[in-house]
Structure 1
Amino acid sequence: MEITLDKHSANQASVKIKLNEADYQPKVDAKLKDYAKKANIKGFRPGKAPVSMVKRMYGTSVLVDEINSMLSSSLNEYLKGQTFRILGDPLPVIEDADKIDWNNQKDFEFEYKIGFVENVDIQLEGSLEAISYSIEMDEKEVDNTIENLRSQYGNMTNPEVSEENDFLYGDLKAIDGSFEKTFSLPLSKVDGRSLKKFLGLKKEDTVELDPSKVIKEDLAGVVGVTEEEAAQLTGKFEFTVKNINRTELAELNQEFFDKLFGEGQVDTEEAFRAKVRDIMSENYNKELKVYSDEQIKEQLIAKTNIDLPEAFLKEWLLKANDGKVTAEQVEKEYPIYAKQLSWTIISNELAKNNEIQAEHEDVIEKTKDMIREQFASSGLGAQLEASMDMFVDNYLKGNEGQNYMQMLTSVQNDKVLTFVKEKANAKEEKISVDKFQKLLAN
């Protein structure tokens, strides 16, 4: 057997494997003898058919199987011994394979295309602007959240007279009769200059309006029409009230506290407010960590500038997902894939060079945290913790073990990013919710 590597560029190459009869024939003969011992062929007692007959019947298929097995194992072993990192899987050159005469040919040559990267140079010290953000909670944000919670758990009523923040259920009609629609109008969506005419209304009262001027945002969504239809909602219309809906805010009492956090978890308004603030801070800080981590990843990807074999990877993605994606879809999604692949290469390289390992115990703890987060609003509490080991075991064994490998990768990424932040002397910065929203918008 002869294996040769021919590099076409800095990230693509071909591997040729030459086989002669001495490489494969002993294994083929041994397999045919084994077939003969077990074969049940008409006219012969089981296991008594001549090897020559078995060879005529099964020789070609055994030859193909044995050569394919040799190619797979030999190619994998050869590539393991290289210094570069293989990407995707080797792609056989089909044009050459189609020319093979399995019945008469003795010597064979096979060619595979490969994509790879080498010499990944990652610079950390002094080259990154790493910032670890944390939220500085504004009491106004806490007030708004509490108001929303009270509204969400409040009681729906149907008052006689409309007030600010009510919902008016009624009929919208064009004066010329060209349009008619029944919908619920939230007065919070009404422009402040027009709000006064919608206050103090009763059932069957009618208001004249120009919808395009009165409903200050998302006219199509509020009325329940298409954007094209909404563009026509201008001019003289009438809105007739059929019902008034109002949500009475839930009382800040023990029943409300228990509904939100579980029985006895909070017993005073002060404790309730502190709990809401803590949960909000925790949620914002989780989002900020994701944001900070993504910023660091993007910097590392840009600075490391890994030269990926784009043409090879696109071909491999198309063949690996045979029938599931089109060439157009691969072309469209490739930038996202390339970014993810570049980060994976960087993460693995940093982990290898700095002895960063994801331990089994880390996987277990991360899975527990994920499950607790998923059931955070269920109120299960102690029952969840009592069954936690079962939940963790079921999840990690799911998807044929892929869940475990994904969680292992996630733990490694967390550890690598922590290491990067330490090396880069990440700055800590507290920011307001408003600034956080602006960061996300950029």
Structure 2
Amino acid sequence: MNISKEKVDRLNLVLKVDVKRGDYINEVEKELKSYSKRAKVSGFRKGHVPIGLLKKQYGNAVISDKVNKMVQTEISKFIKEEGINHLGYPIPKEQDGFTWEEKDFHFEFDLGLMPLFRLKLNPKNITYYEIKVTDEELEKQIDTLRKHYGSYVDGEAWKSDDNLICANIKGKGIDQKDTRFTLAELNDGVVGKIKTLKKGDSVGVNATKFLKDENRLLGLLGVSKGVLDSTETLEVEITAFKNIVLSELNQDFYDRVFGKDKVTSEESFRKLVKEQLKVNYQRYAENQFQNDFMEALIEKTSFKLPKDFLVKWIRFSGEKVLTEADAEEQFKNAEQSIRYQLIENKIIEDYKISTDPKELELFIKNRVKLQLESYGQFDPQPDYLEQITSRILDNEKQIKSYRDEFLVMQINKLFKNEGGYKKKEITYEEYIETIGKEKDKKTKKTKGFLNGLRKRI
């Protein structure tokens, strides 16, 4: 087999592949012989079907399979050895009157190339938001923690939306005791009815419109969808309103939130909660800073893409062939995403940004810790933290997500060192309002399209 390349222009080339009969015939004959031992053909005993008959019936299909696999493998090796930086994968050119009869073959493939361009990391008018924590937000977070670590006491009537409601529920084929749900789970039309009840009272409700989430309702009632659909009304008898009692601001509470003796006063507790909120808020700002910086780079970094090839690749790369118009539309929607990813890859390459395994593991561990803190677990056991981190490191899909986030963090550091930007202190509420207005003005750029685009054959 011989493979050569012919450059069309800076963004396109043609791969030419010549396959001789001798390159594939041994594999084809070996496959046919193997099949003859297990083939069942009328008029012949198993294992005694003539090779010539099998060749006549299945020869072309076997040739097609073997040659295609061989060509794909060798093209992939050729691209790697030649150091061809490409987009998508090679697309075979059509041949009039082509057949898979036993012979020498010649194939040609179109291939799009990555554009060459230079970067200048000094876009103007970029804002880095420093999000401050307001007293109101701090109090809200402390209340959330006090509820999380609080306790429930039985009450005779509804007191607040935080109540946990206990009830016996009956209906056609349904008899569930001591079910538990919250007002937030109820459909709007049911909330008012439940609030007026007292312990021991009952009310009839539309079975399918009791809870907002149907799956949650099926689990609560312990029935199938068929049983629920055949039930018109549920009789809900209140057995208790469990009213939440907020945890006191004392040492026991501080220990439960942050770990034993990590905090010893209300002042230090408030300070640490505020710091945790600040860290979480700043993660949003970091992501926004990188998006804004990248969008500015896209606007000022000019380069052409192999559009005709990419449209063709989009057209034929899915499960079904698209029309040319649909492929054009998809390219139009994806173009900014492609440019985004190419520029990001260029930054990683030019500035030698990498993911050291030990640094990545530490980053993942810190991210897991932050996530646990968002659930109120501020002092997870080291073994538990290691267990979750190890599980992530064993999951390729998850580790890719964390690796991408780690790279974003490193790119942000680069932007702060290399690029011009201004800082602005802002509250979280103001930040949400500002970002919302910006999104209304421009289309949000997305990433990830190029993962498939750069796939090797």
Could you say which TM-score interval applies, normalised by the shorter chain? 0.5 to 0.7
Give the aligned partner of residue 170 of structure 1: none
Q: Distance in 2 between matches of 1:314 and 1:156?
A: 64
Give the aligned partner of residue 228 of structure 2: none
Give the aligned partner of residue 138 of structure 1: 134
**8 Å contact from structure 2 (residues 128, 289) kept in 1:** yes
**8 Å contact from structure 2 (residues 146, 248) kept in 1:** yes
Structure 1 residue 45, shift from structure 2 partner: 12
| SS of aligned partner of 1:356 | coil
Change (3 A) 1:248 1:140: same
**8 Å contact from structure 2 (residues 37, 46) kept in 1:** yes
The answer to whether residue 345 in structure 2 is matched with residue 344 in structure 1 is: no
Of 285, 290, 302, the match for 2:299: 302
| SS of aligned partner of 1:357 | coil
Give the aligned partner of residue 369 of structure 1: 366
Structure 1 residue 35, shift from structure 2 partner: 5.1
Give the aligned partner of residue 75 of structure 1: 75
Amino acid in the other structure paired with 1:101? T
TM-score by length of 2: 0.62
Amino acid in the other structure paired with 1:134? E
Change (3 A) 1:148 1:372: closer
Amino acid in the other structure paired with 1:120? F
| SS of aligned partner of 1:127 | coil
Amino acid in the other structure paired with 2:89? D
The answer to whether residue 430 in structure 2 is matched with residue 441 in structure 1 is: no
The answer to whether residue 14 in structure 2 is matched with residue 15 in structure 1 is: yes
| SS of aligned partner of 2:20 | helix
1:298-337 equivalence runs, <5 A: 298-310=295-307, 312-317=309-314, 319-322=316-319, 337=334
Structure 1 residue 87, shift from structure 2 partner: 1.4
Of 103, 116, 119, the match for 2:113: 116
State percent identity of aligned pairs. 20
268-277 vs 299-308, greater mean Cα deviation: 299-308
Amino acid in the other structure paired with 1:69? K
Change (3 A) 1:67 1:264: same
280-289 vs 337-346, greater mean Cα deviation: 337-346
Amino acid in the other structure paired with 1:89? Y
**8 Å contact from structure 2 (residues 255, 262) kept in 1:** yes
**8 Å contact from structure 2 (residues 257, 378) kept in 1:** no
Give the aligned partner of residue 31 of structure 1: 27
Amino acid in the other structure paired with 1:424? G
Give per-residue Cα distances to partners, 1:346-404, cap 9 Å, x unaligned.
Answer: 22222222332222222222222232233223638353x22444433322222xx3444
Give the aligned partner of residue 272 of structure 1: 269
Change (3 A) 1:286 1:416: closer
Give the aligned partner of residue 88 of structure 1: 88
Q: Distance in 1 between matches of 2:267 and 2:331?
A: 52
147-156 vs 357-366, greater mean Cα deviation: 147-156
Q: Distance in 1 between matches of 2:75 and 2:429?
A: 56
Give per-residue Cα distances to partners, 1:259-283, cap 9 Å, x unaligned.
Answer: 5445554342212211221111111
RCO comparison, higher one (Cα < 8 Å, 6+): 2
The alignment's C-alpha RMSD in Å is 4.9
| SS of aligned partner of 2:89 | strand
Give the aligned partner of residue 237 of structure 2: none
The answer to whether residue 428 in structure 2 is matched with residue 430 in structure 1 is: no
Change (3 A) 1:251 1:325: farther
TM-score by length of 1: 0.64
Amino acid in the other structure paired with 2:20? Y
Amino acid in the other structure paired with 1:100? F
**8 Å contact from structure 1 (residues 4, 16) kept in 2:** yes
Instruction: For structure 2, list consecutive stretches of 5 or more residues without a partner in the other structure.
Output: 164-187, 199-211, 213-240, 438-457
Give the aligned partner of residue 391 of structure 1: 388
| SS of aligned partner of 1:430 | strand
Change (3 A) 1:99 1:267: farther
Amino acid in the other structure paired with 1:440? I
Structure possessing the higher radius of gyration over alpha carbons: 1
